Structure 1
C-alpha cells in the first residue's frame, strides 16, 4: 500500500500525519496499530512518537485519532492536536475549527506566532476530570490532590487528573529532577501494578518563577518524550490550583523540546486549558507499506524549511533552562 505522509512536531513531540479525509485511504483497526508501530520504530529510516490519523467527522470540521509508537491508541494528544489543527485549517481554508477527538470535540485556531516564522496554533484541552475512576487510579478515595502515595514515594506529593489522558503530577526540586526517581517510578506505574491498571503519564514539574514552569514527562506507551501537550496543560492547572500561578493568565511552559504557553480557565468547579505552541512540518514522504511482511520502504522524501526557525527557539530555551533550572 502506497501512502503519502507528513512528519511534523509540536515541542519536539513528533508524529506522522496520515490523511484519511481527502485521500481515500482506508485501514482496519489492526492496520492502524501496525502502521504506527512500523513507521514510528526509530531503528528504521523514519521513526516518531506516534501517528495522527486525520479523518472526516459527522459533527466537526475533522477528526483526529492518535496511535502511539507501541500501537496503542491515546484518547488525546495536545501536541498532536496542534498539528492536526494546522492540517485541517490549511486544507479547508479556516482560521478556526472544531476537531473531534475520542472524548470531546475541541476548538482549535491559528494563533499569532509564538516565535518569528513559527506556525503557531491554540488548541483546547478538555474535559478536565479529577475523579480517580477516570484515570483509573485504584485508591480508596474519590480524588488525589497534592497527596502522598506511600506505595510510590514517602516524600513526593501527587495530583491525579485526566485531561482526558491520565496524568500523575508532582512538583519537585532540582535534586529530585536530576535523580532517577522519575524513571523508576514511571516504569513501575506503567508496568504490571495495582494502582494504575492502564498505566499513566508521569510528570515532574519544577516552578522556575511565577508564570514559568518546566515540565518533563514519561508518557505511557512511549517513555520519556521531548514534551507532552496534555501533561503541560495538566501541570499548568496543578500550579494554579496550588496558587503558584494564576488562572486566566498565560503561563510559559518550558520542556526539553522547546516552549509553549498555557492558559487555565476556571468556570466554577470546571476547568479547561488553552495550549498554545508550534505546529512545525519536517518533511513530506511517500512510503510503500506491506502489512503482511510488517515492513515498509521509503519511496521519496522531501525536507521542508520550517525547522530552522524552531531550532533558534529551541536553542534559546536550552540556554534559559541551563541558567534557571537550578535551586
Structure 2
C-alpha cells in the first residue's frame, strides 16, 4: 500500500506524518506501517509515526502516535505540534482541541520561536503523580502511590527519581551531568517491561543550567532520542514540584534536538511552545505485514524551514 506523508520534526524529534482521516486500517496494520516508515535502517526513518485523525463533538481533530517498535504511545508533545500544524492547515483554523489516546490537549499557532520557524503552543495535562495508574508496583518497599525525589529499589541506579505521567509515564532524575551509559541502563531496565512496570516507562536525566533545563531521554519504544516533548513537560513539572523551578514561570528547555519554551502550573497543566518544522513531503510503498518500506518518492523539500531551524540549533550549540 502506498502512503503519502510529510517528514517533520518538533525540537529534533522526527516523524513521518500521515493524514489518516480517510484511511481505514486496524491497529496491527498501523503498527506495521510505523515499523516500516520509522525504521532508521530504512529509506525514511523517524522516532515514530504520527497520524492526523478525525475529530468528534469535543475535538477538532485527533492524533495517534506509534513508536518505532509499533507500540502506541498515549501522546507525544513534539509530535502533537506537527499534527496540530497539519490539522490547522487541513481545516483552515489557528487553534484546536485535539483528541489523544487517553486524554486531550489544546494547541494553537504561536509567534515564531525564531525567524522562519513555524511554532505551535500546546497545553497538556494535568500531570498525574499516582504511579498505580501506570502501574508501577514497589512491592519491595510497600511505598505509597507517589514517587517524588527518592530512589526506586528495582532500578540499576541509586539516584532519586520523580514519577510523572504526562499522560505517558516518565521517571525524571536531576543530575549534575548526564551519564548516558547510566541513562541507557535505567532505560533498558524499564524497557524490559518487568513485572513491577509492565507497561514500561520513559526515563530522563535532567541538568539544571541556571534557570533553564537540559533534558536527555531514553524513550519507551524508541531508545535514546534527541528530544521527547512529554519528557520535557514532565521534567519541567518535576522541577517545580521539587523546588528547582517556579510554577507559573516560563523557562527554556534544551535537548540534543534544540529547545522549547515551557511553563508548568500548580494545577498540573504544562504549556510548551516550540517548532513544528516540515522537512519534506513524499510517498512510499509499505508492506505493513513485514514492516518494510520502499520506493520512496520525494515531492518537495522545505529548504527555508530547514535552514531556519538549523540557525536555531547552531545558535545554542
Are 2:47 and 1:49 aligned?
yes
Instruction: Work out the CA distance in 2 between the residues paired with 1:193 and 1:69.
Output: 20
Alignment of 1:217-232 (within 5 A): 217-232=217-232
Which residue of 1 is the match for residue 308 of structure 2? 309
Which residue of 2 is the match for residue 72 of structure 1? 71
Unaligned stretches of 5+ in structure 2? none
Question: What is the TM-score when the length of structure 1 is the normalising length?
Answer: 0.91
CA shift for structure 1 position 299:
4.5
CA shift for structure 1 position 292:
5.1
CA shift for structure 1 position 193:
2.1
Which residue of 2 is the match for residue 321 of structure 1? none
The answer to whether the Cα contact below 8 Å between 1:217 and 1:231 also exists between their aligned partners in 2 is yes
SS at match of 2:5: strand
SS at match of 1:180: helix
Which residue of 2 is the match for residue 274 of structure 1? 271
- 1:106-163 deviations in whole A, cap 9, x for unaligned? 1100001111110000111213111111222112311101111233256411111111
Which residue of 1 is the match for residue 5 of structure 2? 5
Question: What is the TM-score when the length of structure 2 is the normalising length?
Answer: 0.94
Alignment of 1:70-149 (within 5 A): 70-139=69-138, 140=142, 141-149=144-152
Which range moves more in the overlay, 188-197 or 91-100? 188-197
Are 2:208 and 1:207 aligned?
yes
CA shift for structure 1 position 293:
5.5
Which structure's relative contact order is higher, taking Cα pairs within 8 Å and 6+ residues apart? 2
Instruction: Work out the CA distance in 1 between the residues paired with 2:307 and 2:26.
Output: 37
Which range moves more in the overlay, 244-253 or 67-76? 244-253
- 1:226-261 deviations in whole A, cap 9, x for unaligned? 110000001001111122211111110000000001
Are 2:285 and 1:296 aligned?
no
CA shift for structure 1 position 102:
1.1
The answer to whether the Cα contact below 8 Å between 2:19 and 2:52 also exists between their aligned partners in 1 is yes
Query: Which stretches of structure 1, 4 residues or longer, exceed 6 Å deviation after superposition?
Result: none
Q: CA RMSD in A?
A: 1.4
The answer to whether the Cα contact below 8 Å between 2:123 and 2:271 also exists between their aligned partners in 1 is yes
Which residue of 1 is the match for residue 244 of structure 2? 244
Instruction: Work out the CA distance in 2 between the residues paired with 1:187 and 1:233.
Output: 22
- 1:194-238 deviations in whole A, cap 9, x for unaligned? 33111110000010012x010000001000111100000010011
Instruction: Work out the CA distance in 2 between the residues paired with 1:246 and 1:256.
Output: 24
The answer to whether the Cα contact below 8 Å between 1:136 and 1:196 also exists between their aligned partners in 2 is yes
Instruction: Work out the CA distance in 2 between the residues paired with 1:272 and 1:243.
Output: 17
- 1:85-113 deviations in whole A, cap 9, x for unaligned? 11111211111111111122211000011
Q: How many matched pairs?
A: 310
Instruction: Work out the CA distance in 2 between the residues paired with 1:203 and 1:152.
Output: 13
Are 2:28 and 1:30 aligned?
yes
Instruction: Work out the CA distance in 2 between the residues paired with 1:13 and 1:165.
Output: 16
SS at match of 1:186: helix
Which residue of 1 is the match for residue 192 of structure 2? 191
